[in-house]
Structure 1
Amino acid sequence: MKKLLLASTVLAGMTAAAAAADLPRRAAPPPVFTPVPVFTWTGFYAGFNAGYGFGTGNDRGATVAAVPAAYGVFANPGPQVIAFAGQRSAEGFVGGGQIGYNYQFTPGSGVVVGVEADAQYVDFGRDRNRFLATSPLAAGAAAFNPNGVTGLDYFGTVRGRLGYAFDRTLVYATGGFAYGSGGGRDFGLPNFTRDEFQTGWTVGGGVEYALPTDSFLNFFRSSAVTLKVEGLYVNLDQGNRNNGLFAVGATGIPVALSSTGVTVISGATSRRNDTEFAVVRAGINYKFGSY
């Protein structure tokens, strides 16, 4: 009897095991897929830049003019000569900051449009007003280079940007409004020089690359850090007021190269050239917005 009971138990266990083997197995859950974010240039950004600027105008020639005594420019009586050596030190450091916004039509690779404004400190053209006179100038008289203005204290731009992004690399062209001020004795002579504040235009282009979000340069926890190299040509219009003016006598009489009685020995010009210069700079931007 015991043997029969044992045999029945074994047979039942085998039957249950066989039945369990025939049951459908529960499918394993599919793996969780986390898509890699596609980079986009869309968003606001702000940053800093530094570079080198140099004059591109045609005002490098020396200017020498003989001025009659009637203008009261010189301390000694009689006509004298003022000579400028031409444009000097029209190059140097440029640095400042920028802020802007980009919009990319298709994330990844695609067209990018944007707008950017920047303000720059300029340190070139400091020696352009050095001159040599055969007699000391009279008290209150002033002389300055007549061939354009390449000395500036600052300039800035407001520009549009149009480019194409190859994922994290952006190639772009840029252009728009420019302004500037400064430049020594070409400015600051009431009623005898053009406005100190100048306006004009600028055009250029550059390449920008976005680093990973966890870059060691990401001090501000931005969505991306971008590095750029950019070149700009800037032209600030001088207008036509008092063209050729290069000195003011002690009595306040302006002396222009086109004045009757002024003999231009060399470097003749009756036109004040625009302020023209080029800038090559590198910059860093911190992008805030979409990844």
Structure 2
Amino acid sequence: MKAVYNLAVAACGVLLAGTAAQAGDFRAQRPVAVYNAPYYNWTGFYAGAFAGGAHGVWTVDFYRNNNHGHSEQGADGLAFGLYGGYNYQFARNFVIGAEVDLGRSTASQSNDIFDNDTSYAKYGMFGSARARAGYAFDRLLVFGTLGVGIADLTNTIQKGRNAGEQVVWENQVKAGLTTGVGVEYAFTNNWVGRGEYVYTDYGSVTLFNRDGNRADFKNELHLIRAGASYRF
């Protein structure tokens, strides 16, 4: 009888040990949850303001009495304005969109071409409509932009000091190709900071006065600006 009791106790011990081993194996094989932080989503509308520096470049060729005067002048000023647009993000890292901006520049220049002839040029209001394409590194976006820019330009040639001989082309809107590059960083889910460079070639303007003198202007504008926008 005692032998039977000892055999039963041994069998229960083996059964309990096997059950504990299986429980240990289950704990070891249970999958561990892994949390992956979501990537920042750039899709949506946004609007903001920018400020920075403007560098205007004017190339002037002036023809008077079979004489040719050539001048290349640059002028630095300020630029400030507003911008807004829409982004669409796809394939996790690629971002495309469209943007418009409207601003004002203080860049201008005055230059003597001959002894008593002066050229004058300045930029006023400017704006653009551009497509954008970029690559997102989570909250950091690197992008390029291409589109059409417009500007209110003033180009003037003063022949001598007689206002009657003045040749003026002013308060006209010229259009040209705009291109640029930049970076954006999302500091929060709604506020995004930006730095970018934008170049616009507004083409050439030809002026004549009553004496048949001719002036050819080529107008270009370089912008380096920082901005901040709010995403809706």
Normalising to structure 2: TM-score of the pair? 0.69
1:207 is matched with which residue: 183, 188, 201?
A: 183
1:156 is matched with which residue: 120, 123, 127?
A: 127
Structure 1: unaligned runs, 5 residues or longer: 1-32, 68-80, 135-142, 214-223, 258-269
The CA deviation at 1:171 is 0.3
TM-aligned CA distance change 1:286 to 1:95, over 3 Å: same
Please give the alpha-carbon distance, in whole angstroms, between the structure 2 residues aligned to 1:285 and 1:46: 5
2:94 equivalent in structure 1: 111
The CA deviation at 1:128 is 2.0
2:82 equivalent in structure 1: 97
Structural RMSD (CA): 3.6
Tell me the number of residue pairs that the alignment of Structure 1 and Structure 2 aligns.
Answer: 192
2:154 equivalent in structure 1: 183
The CA deviation at 1:277 is 1.9
Q: Is the 8 A contact 1:152 1:181 kept in 2?
A: yes
Structure with a larger share of its residues in helix: 2
SS state of the match for residue 38, structure 1? coil
Residue type matched to 1:282 in 2? A
Q: Deviation string for 1:87-110 (max 9, x for gaps)?
A: 65622101101010000014xx41
**Which of structures 1 and 2 has the bigger CA Rg?**
1
The CA deviation at 1:65 is 4.7
TM-aligned CA distance change 1:210 to 1:282, over 3 Å: same
The CA deviation at 1:129 is 6.0
2:191 is matched with which residue: 222, 225, 228?
A: 225
1:285 equivalent in structure 2: 229
2:213 equivalent in structure 1: 256
1:236 is matched with which residue: 202, 205, 211?
A: 202
Please give the alpha-carbon distance, in whole angstroms, between the structure 2 residues aligned to 1:183 and 1:161: 30
Q: Is the 8 A contact 1:202 1:232 kept in 2?
A: yes
- 1:1-291 to 2 correspondences below 5 Å: 36-59=37-60, 65=64, 86=71, 90-106=75-91, 109-125=92-108, 127-128=109-110, 145=119, 150-183=121-154, 185=156, 193=169, 196-213=172-189, 224-238=190-204, 243=206, 245=208, 248=209, 253=210, 255-257=212-214, 272-288=216-232
Structure 1 residue runs of 4 or more that deviate by more than 3 Å after TM superposition: 33-38, 56-59, 63-67, 84-89, 129-134, 191-195
Please give the alpha-carbon distance, in whole angstroms, between the structure 1 residues aligned to 2:63 and 2:218: 20
Q: Deviation string for 1:167-199 (max 9, x for gaps)?
A: 00000010100101132646xx9x974881111
Structure with a larger share of its residues in strand: 2
Please give the alpha-carbon distance, in whole angstroms, between the structure 2 residues aligned to 1:286 and 1:181: 28
Identity of counterpart residues, as a percentage?
Answer: 29
